[in-house]
Amino acid sequence: MTINEHALDEVPPTILSFLKDLPNICSLAGLACTLAAIYFSITGVFYAAMIGMVWAVAFDWADGLIARKMTGRTGEDMKFGGQLDVLIDIVSYGVAPAILLISYGQFQPVYLVGAFIMLAAGVLRLSYFSIFGLADGSRYTGLAIDNNNLALVFLFLFESLFNQSIFAILLYFCCVGLAILNVSNISTPKLSGNPINVYLLAAYTVITSAVYLWLLFK
């Protein structure tokens, strides 16, 4: 083998070549849902934002299920997919809820504090996981941040029972409470690792989406 041939063998794959990997496409679909959630949060269409947030979790869990069932994925595919997941998680479960809180709080400066706490906790949580991974191979240290979206989507089902100012305070404390759980030392199971939980999430996603669509158009 010549020097030039050896150099060619070490040329890394192109960035877009990883789009051929189905789990990565699924991850990007979740990112699109998150972008929609951020847009609708900023524009004040919060029920539509909830649909985007719950579908972001559904695609996130689905990409892991697909990846585990696929054969022939290379080590580079798995490493790239893992990095992609972490970066998208920061946006989906850190940035999006923070923007939701700020927007629902009508952009009052005090809501920046709660938003920062939630975003900082999410970044710390993901950084810790990137280094230490799962405890005993099956449990997280701290509440996994995908639960943030699931909790907020459930909370907003009761939004119409409160006036805006009261619910904004409730949302604030819920976000800060979730942030505290994210960085706590509690041990929580990896729910997305069980296919049954993925199907339960699918049912939750469909049901909550239907409810929010009804609320939007009633």
Ranges of each domain in the chain: 20-217
pLDDT given for residue 16 in this prediction:
84
Residue 210 CA to residue 27 CA, distance in Å, equals 23
Q: At 47, list the tokens.
A: 């029920």
pLDDT in tens, 5-49: 444 557 888 888 788 888 889 999 999 999 999 999 999 999 999
pLDDT given for residue 136 in this prediction:
77
CATH number of this structure's domain 20-217, picked from the four choices 3.40.50.150, 1.20.120.1760, 3.10.20.30, 3.40.720.10: 1.20.120.1760
Torsion of CA 138, 142, 147, 148, to 10 degrees: -160
pLDDT given for residue 7 in this prediction:
47
pLDDT in tens, 44-58: 999 999 999 999 999
Across 127-131, 168-172, 193-197, 207-211, least confident range? 193-197
Local confidence band at 160 (pLDDT 50, 70, 90 cut-offs): very high
Residue 123 contacts residue 94 (beta carbons within 8 Å):
yes
Give yes or no for residue 65 having a pLDDT over 80: no
Give yes or no for residue 140 having a pLDDT over 70: yes
The DSSP bridge partners found for residue 187 are 141
What residue has token string 């847009």?
39
> What element of type H or E holds 86?
helix 75-90
pLDDT given for residue 9 in this prediction:
59
Local confidence band at 4 (pLDDT 50, 70, 90 cut-offs): low
Residue 56 contacts residue 96 (beta carbons within 8 Å):
yes
pLDDT in tens, 77-94: 778 888 898 899 999 999
Local confidence band at 192 (pLDDT 50, 70, 90 cut-offs): confident
Q: Is the pTM of this model over 0.85?
A: yes
Residue 91 CA to residue 159 CA, distance in Å, equals 24
Mean pLDDT value of segment 201-215: 97
